[in-house]
Structure formats: structure tokens, C-alpha cells
Homo-oligomer: A and B are copies of this chain.
Amino acid sequence: MELEFIRWLNNRIAAHPGARLGIGDDAALLEWADRGDCVVTSDLLMDGAHFRLEAGDPPKRIGHKALAVNLSDLAAMASRPVAAFVSLALPRNGGLPLAQDLVEGMLPLAEQFQVAIAGGDTNIWGGPLVISVTAVGMATEHGVLRRDGGRPGDWLLVTGALGGSLLGRHLDVEPRVAEALVLNDQFEIHACLDISDGLALDLSRLASASGCGAILEAAAIPVSDAARQLAQRGDGRSSPLDHALSDGEDFELLFSVAPDVGQKILAAQPLAVPIRHIGELTDEPQLWLRREDATLEPLAARGFEHQ
């Protein structure tokens, strides 16, 4: 089957100027003369954990997601996507058509961000579908954004709206690649990551890597419509804000900047998606949430962890 799939891929995928040698040799060759540092990220997606074939998740959307979450990691570093490598462990009852649908779901995104699908590995087995994608990007002349560059007093900014991705957005991830490149090009960003496991948990990672704590302003956190819907459907235990704080797979950017830079960014709103000021980094390592009535409560670094 692998040979047939490779033949199909070679017909389906247009030649990419950056990939001097793509699918079909022992490895891919990416032209790198005079380019920036090489940024690499890998994500493994498993049936039953990151998507559910049996529950009817469409393979094309799964393929989209598998590539998108990797591009979101490149976005978190403000690097320019170059190529992606897709390895599949296909269930016996899926085979070639499933592989084709997965790739078909990746192609619009690959085209949008000029990513070459340049290689991978395809196998059939008795187990459930596993998709491993590795994305390779290039650092720009502005360098990369890391999660450990935050400083006490930094403003915390976030793109888009948070929570409720389970209602569908977790499959329709829009990686903030262009947005991160614009931000890194026009402003001095101290630290950045993509929110993959929920705002509270990912904030704790950024703060901890930066040797800081943080205060979030409850009233300022952008709550998505899906988060409100989920809260309504639930048994009242989780508010829309809870969903915005703790649901996974938002894939929005959380970043920290000096306050004067934050003011400029809010005034400029340089992206198609809104940017909001949701809190500050602090000296002390604790995380806090300031409620609308100004009471402070500890914020648990809880979020979505597959395991």
C-alpha cells in the first residue's frame, strides 16, 4: 500500500521550491542556504485521545488538525513554516482511502502557509490510527519567541477568544502563524506560547519558565461563544470563565510585553483577530485571578492534559 500511497502523493502534491528533494528518496532535502536557524516541532495524535474516528470525526478535519497543531507550535516561536513530515499508522479497515483523506485535509493549510509536505512514513497495523507530524520552520531575522523571556510587570496579551473548543473548534484549528510573524516583526515581544492545554495551565508554563508569577483579570478574559454554550449545557459546575481558563486546544497566542509596548499593540490592533490585555506577570511565583469584585483568589494551573 505504501508504494501506491507514495505514487498518489507525488501526483497530488505540487513541487515545492523549498524542497529540493521530497517524497521518494531516503530523506527530504530542504534548501537552507542563507536561511535562519531551524525550528522543529513534533506532535503525535492518537485515535481516542485527540480525535475519535468512531464518533464520526471526519478524516479530513483530523488531517487538518494534525498539521495545524504543529503549525501552531511554529507560530508560538514566530517562525516561518517550511515543511511538514507526516507519518501514519493506519488501521486495517481504513487503509489507503483514510490516508488520502487525512492528506487532503492537510493540503489547503499546507498551501495557505506554503508548507511542503516533504516526507514521512506510512504503515498499516492492527491498532488504531496514529498520526505523527513533524513541522520544520525557519527563524526570521527577528529571532524566535520563547516562553522564558517574560519579566515582572509585563502585560499579558492574548489573541482571539478562549474555551469550548470541544464543540468543534478543536478540529478546525487556525494556527496563528501570520499573526505571530506580524507581532514579532512590529513589536518587542518578551515571551510567547500557543494555548494548547488551556489558559491557566499554559500561563503557568510561561510564568514558570520566565521565573515569574501572574495575575489574570477575570473581567478581561475573552470568553468564546462555545465556552458559554458548554457552560449552559453543563450542570452548572463550570462557568463560561472556567471553560475559558481550563479548556484545551484554543491554539491562540498568549504573550507578554512591556506595558508601553502593550499600549501600542492595543491601540494598533495589528491583527485581523482581536488582541486583549488579560493580566500581568509578577515578581512572586504564584498565579492569581482577580474577580470582577476585585477579590483575589489563587488560580490553579489546571487545564486539559491528555494524560
Max chain B Cβ within 10 angstroms of own Cβ: one of A2, A73, A194: A73
A30 interfacial contact with B, CB 8 Å: yes
Contact B43 A87 (CB under 8 A): yes
Rounded to whole angstroms, the CA-CA distance of A306 and B123 in the bound complex is 7
Which of B127, B134, B193 has a CB less than 8 Å from the CB of A130?
Answer: B127
Given A130-B127, A130-B130, are A28 and B39 neighbors across the interface (CB < 8 Å)?
yes
A36 interfacial contact with B, CB 8 Å: yes
Contact A40 B85 (CB under 8 A): yes
Given A25-B77, A29-B39, A89-B130, are A46 and B121 neighbors across the interface (CB < 8 Å)?
no
Q: Which residues of B contact A27 (CB under 8 A)?
A: 39-41, 73-74, 76-77, 79, 135, 137
A44 interfacial contact with B, CB 8 Å: yes
Contact B46 A127 (CB under 8 A): yes
Contact A32 B28 (CB under 8 A): no
Task: Kindly supply a per-residue 1/0 record for chain A positions 134-166, scoring 1 wherever the CB is within 8 Å of any chain B CB and 0 otherwise.
Answer: 111101000010111000000000000000000
Chain A interface size band reads 35 or more
User: Can you report 26 residue pairs joining A to B where beta carbons are below 8 Å apart?
Assistant: A25-B147, A25-B193, A26-B74, A26-B193, A27-B39, A27-B40, A27-B73, A27-B79, A27-B137, A29-B38, A30-B39, A32-B37, A32-B38, A33-B37, A38-B136, A40-B119, A42-B120, A44-B88, A46-B89, A48-B126, A85-B134, A89-B130, A124-B307, A130-B132, A132-B134, A134-B134
Instruction: Give chain A's interface residues, CB within 8 Å of chain B.
Output: 1-2, 20-21, 24-33, 35-44, 46, 48-49, 73-74, 76-77, 79, 83, 85-89, 118-121, 123-128, 130, 132, 134-137, 139, 144, 146-148, 193-194, 209, 305-307
